[in-house]
């Protein structure tokens, strides 16, 4: 179904909050992670650094309940629309994308919005 050959057996998986459309994180899935996600409805990924599968929330309890999966035109990237059961980022932030780049420095988005 998906095109796994372009990135050594992996596809990028963009995780998005189904209710707010906020982008929560980016991870990678291999075929096994994708199939497990379909079966369990819990976002499961492949860790490139640990070379193994991991289900988001398995240690933190911050699971991501998958409600919908979109695939791009090339069939090599997916968007997981999820109901998050806690923060997505290991830092405790709701999203891993909590910083912005501006004026040659990285700034927390909360500082920019003030």
What pLDDT, in 10s, does the model give residues 52-89?
Answer: 999 999 999 999 999 999 999 999 999 999 999 999 99
pTM beyond 0.85: the answer is yes
- Which has the higher per-residue pLDDT, 106 or 111? 106
What pLDDT, in 10s, does the model give residues 22-61?
Answer: 999 999 999 999 999 999 999 999 999 999 999 999 999 9
Residue 15: per-residue pLDDT:
99
Give the confidence band of 107 by pLDDT, cuts at 50, 70, 90: confident
33, 67, 78: which is closest to 53 by C-alpha? 33
Best CATH choice for the domain 11-88 from the list 1.10.1660.10, 3.30.450.40, 3.40.50.720, 3.10.20.810? 3.10.20.810
Pairing of strands 78-84, 11-17: parallel
Long-range contacts, 65-70 (Cβ 8 Å, 24+): 65/41, 66/37, 66/41, 66/42, 67/18, 67/41, 68/18, 69/37, 69/38
Burial class of residue 92 in the structure, from the number of CB atoms within 10 Å of its CB (0-12 exposed, 13-18 middle, 19+ buried)? exposed
Give the confidence band of 1 by pLDDT, cuts at 50, 70, 90: confident
Give the confidence band of 108 by pLDDT, cuts at 50, 70, 90: confident
């Amino acid at each position: 179904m998906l095109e796994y050959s372009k990135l050594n057996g992996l596809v990028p998986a963009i995780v998005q909050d189904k209710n707010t459309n906020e982008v929560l994180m980016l991870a990678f899935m291999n075929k096994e992670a994708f199939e497990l996600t379909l079966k369990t409805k819990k976002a499961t990924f492949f860790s490139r650094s640990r070379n193994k599968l991991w289900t988001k929330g398995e240690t933190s309890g911050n699971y991501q309940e998958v409600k919908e999966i979109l695939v791009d035109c090339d069939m090599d990237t997916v968007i997981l629309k999820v109901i998050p059961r806690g923060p997505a980022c290991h830092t405790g932030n709701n999203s891993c994308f909590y910083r912005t780049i501006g004026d040659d420095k990285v700034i927390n988005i909360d500082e920019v919005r003030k």
